[in-house]
Amino acid sequence: MRRKVILGLAAGVLAAVAVLGALFGLGLFSGREGFSLPRNCDVYGALWTTDGEGLLLLGTGPDGDGFLELRSLDGRRRWRVGGLTFPAPHWRCAALSPEGEMVAVGDVGGLHLMGLESGEESAQLPLEGDIAWLGYLMDGRLVVAMVQGGVLYLELRDSEGAILSREEVARWEAPAYQLTGKLSLTSDGRFLLYPGGEPDRWNGFWIVNLLQRDTGETRTWDLAERLPWLEETGYIEALALRPDGREVSVALTLREPGHVALLRLDVASGGVEELSLPKGTQIPSVDVLAYSPDGALLAAAASAGLYLVQGEEIRVLWHEPGIRALAFSPDGTRLAVLTEEELHIWKCEES
């Protein structure tokens, strides 16, 4: 497996961080970039542009008005589209077409299609259900996951937003926004990852489902059966599917300390692995997960900071609470870390 070095932190703490890097096998941390976020805005989603030269930010302004904006890596705003209405705090639903020319964003009003160059809206399409997730396939088709009448559906649409197909996936009684961070589809369209459970019991998501769409086969893990303590002390907060579809990572929010907060599921065997923590480290909960494009790295944001999973180990990368979103750049050389006040960009280089 290819080894990488995560670079970050300011020069003033370089010596201390060098010791930390050597301790966890990550090398030196230096040259972290990024920019501050407006104090009167609430930003909770970040998406890289296809060329890796910009970031799309999704959030709300002081009056609760939702917006999508494009910024360069130094923080300069290129455009902002407002007037969006998001159904819940921290809800985020946007996708960028594979050629990097179109942006799709969903809100209460439906589906909006915009040009990346200017942010100009080319289409606004009403939807029959509530949007849960948006994504593009490699061939340019837009995927819309939505909830309608207690059922989770998957729609495929063309470049102009016209419906090509609609398929029923599973029952889903909870609000659509509760699928945020828990549902995803591989870019080839083969594997769909989504949770299950009893949402009326303390957000009781304990079941992981992986549907192989080309065969119709579903792999299901009932984590409450394997981890009896889960029903009483926690639930699934985030799910991530490795780009090749061979591995699923599970982040748990725990109501009581003392249990593992990060799991890895092997798709071929169905096995469940509890990821080992650095000695003396305790993670009370994990909120956000993101795989690198090659699947070699997994970034995990917990209530205590940022962790990096590489191979069989999980390592402390950065002690910083309040991380809202993680996103690897398309080439896997940078990691965007969105906090309440700043957008940090960590550089990754081969060692």
DSSP 29-45: ----EEEEPPTT-EEEE
> Exposed e or buried b for every residue in 222-258, given b needs 16+ CB within 10 A?
ebbeebeebbebbbbbbbbbbbebebbbbbbbbeeee
User: Does the residue 230 lie in any domain?
Assistant: yes
At residue 247, the 3 state secondary structure works out as strand
Q: Is residue 228 in some structural domain?
A: yes
Does the residue 335 lie in any domain? no
Number of domains in the chain: 1
The span from the CA of 195 to the CA of 172, in Å, is: 9
Composition of the chain by helix, strand, coil, percent to 5: 5, 50, 40
Q: Is residue 194 part of a domain?
A: yes
- Rounded to whole angstroms, the Cα distance separating 161 from 144 reads 10
For residue 8, the model assigns a pLDDT of 35
Backbone phi, then psi, for 190, in 5-degree steps?
-80, -40
Query: Would you put residue 25 in left (φ > 0), alpha (ψ -120 to 50) or beta?
Result: left
Inside any domain, residue 329: no
In a domain? residue 315: yes
Tell me the two tokens of residue 162. Answer: 């016209």
- Which pLDDT score is estimated for 350? 52
Q: Which pLDDT does position 6 carry in this prediction?
A: 34
| Single-letter code of the amino acid located at 157 | R
Task: Classify residue 271: in a domain, yes or no.
Answer: yes
Helix (H) or strand (E) run with residue 223 in it: helix 223-226
Retrieve residue 135's tokens: 């994504």
Q: Which domain holds residue 268?
A: 185-319
- In the chain, which residues have pLDDT < 50? 1-30, 351
Q: What is the largest CA-CA distance in the chain?
A: 57
Q: Is the dihedral of CA 66, 72, 76, 81 positive or negative?
A: negative
Residue 297: give its domain's CATH number: 2.130.10.10
Extended strands (E) in 63-126: 66-72, 77-84, 94-96, 102-107, 110-115, 121-125
pTM: 0.87
Residue 244 lies in a domain: yes
Beta bridge partners of 217: 212
Query: Are residues 121 and 210 in contact, defined by beta-carbon separation less than 8 angstroms?
Result: no
